[in-house]
Structure 1
Amino acid sequence: MRTGFKDLNIKTTINDTTFLVLNIAFERFLRSMPKHSHGNNSYELHYIPYGHGKVSIDDQIYNITPNTLYMTGPHVEHEQIPVKNDPMTEYCIYFKIQKNSSHPPLDVDTVAYKFEKTHFWFGQDTQELYPLMQQIFFELEHRFTGYMIQVEALLQQCLVKIVRNYENRTQSKSHFSPSNLVDSKYIIVEECFLYEYETITLEIISERLGLSIRQTERFLKEYYGKTFLQKKTEAKMSMAKIYLNDDTINISEIADRLNYSSIQHFSYAFKQYYGITPTNYRKNSRV
């Protein structure tokens, strides 16, 4: 029994190295596979979700049990021999590496470098490859909208998980760069109106943004289409509705939580915004 996808020409790039995926197969071994190897820059993933057998790799015998993962790189000879009463079933992905000659040599800490330099590995999978393999086949079989993007992303995950199997939880030395000030301004603004809408002032938000009050107002108007007061009122009025839908909170307490000086001030602001008093809104919401 064999299910396969050939001539795929799937390309995914990691660390300036392109991984070309030519063949993805799922097979139950009802017969032995003779000794074979692959050429330069070629690697083959073998993942066995269930069944038993043996594999001879460069004339050394390894026992295959469920959840076995082994990788065979360039010129690594291997032959597969299933156990007759419980033959192994294998997911197999054939990768071919294409180096980008215009880039400097890869850092030894990269996924691509570690994958390329490991021509043989055998062991038990610790990275939950099985559901990943199932998802790759699901995408290729059904071809729903965006399936090519999904397959490329899943194959990237697969490459990372392979290298993690090699290393057993080694910490990466590469990390995300911090965001620049321009990008972080959006987060600063949005968190202010999410978590401090009751008390935030234009002066406080200007200080956090490192802008003058006039620059802050211009920034808000340009990127959100609203003034500071409009955004603050929007946040408070949205929360007011949430509180009014909770009968355990009286209107006086809501006014206090939203930092209004009095219940009358809150009621006036609510009616100005929604065209209905808080009391009538609460009554209508119960109907």
Structure 2
Amino acid sequence: MSASAPAPRSAPALGGFNATLLGLEIRRALRSLRTVILVVAMPMSFLLLYGLPYRDHHPGDGQPLARITVAMAVYGAMIGATSCGAGVAMERVAGWNRQLRLTPLRPLAQVAVKTITAMVLGLIAVLAEFALGAALGVDLPPHVWLLAGLAAWLPSAVFALFGLFTGLVLPSQNVMQLVGPALVLLAVLGGIFIPLSLLPHAIRVVAPFTPAYGAGTLAQSCLGGGGAGAASVLNLLAWTGVFTAGAVWRLRQDVGRS
């Protein structure tokens, strides 16, 4: 008598996305003390460097310290989310991805877990920048702090996906060597370090098509003066779609090779 074939395994709800796995990933990310310190310390040092000269300026002069604080919060969220996402390169070497492939976790659900985890580091960076900005004298209404914080943090999803995609494409020994300079370049092109109005015309033409543009203009618009609109939102949505598709594609390739 032949043995009956095993019943096919039913597809998990939400592709295998669950709070237990998410909590595990967040704890793993926060245990990397070096990454957390980098995410907090580097943008804070930039805020001190660029912001201290404007500490005694009055609120009516365009709020330069507030704008620098928001810009560095965006940059901090970029660093935190990207570095966490790119950490998948080391996980592939360590065999963590192979362990996940033994579970019913689908590639899109894995991307969602990694993105949310990376956004936690982005949130830590934003809160640290805002705390330092307030200590330096930035005085904003509570609703402006909230809106600017959300506008600085939520786009970190784009950079979490950017880091995840690069971590899945590049070798582990090269990924951070390339991602670090790429973030600086994107920040310049997005007007994070220097207002776009002060940059050459060629850069101003290219800037709206770069990932950091939407994040920077959206956050700065919360302080008044315009600068953000449908183009900024479409920019973020488009890059989210591009990097999500790229990350899912690479994960499916990994599954196919397993």
Which TM-score applies when normalising by structure 2?
0.27
Identify the structure with the greater strand proportion. 1
Greater Cα radius of gyration, structure 1 or 2: 1
Higher relative contact order (CA 8 A, sep 6+): 2
Identify the structure with the greater helix proportion. 2
Which TM-score applies when normalising by structure 1?
0.25
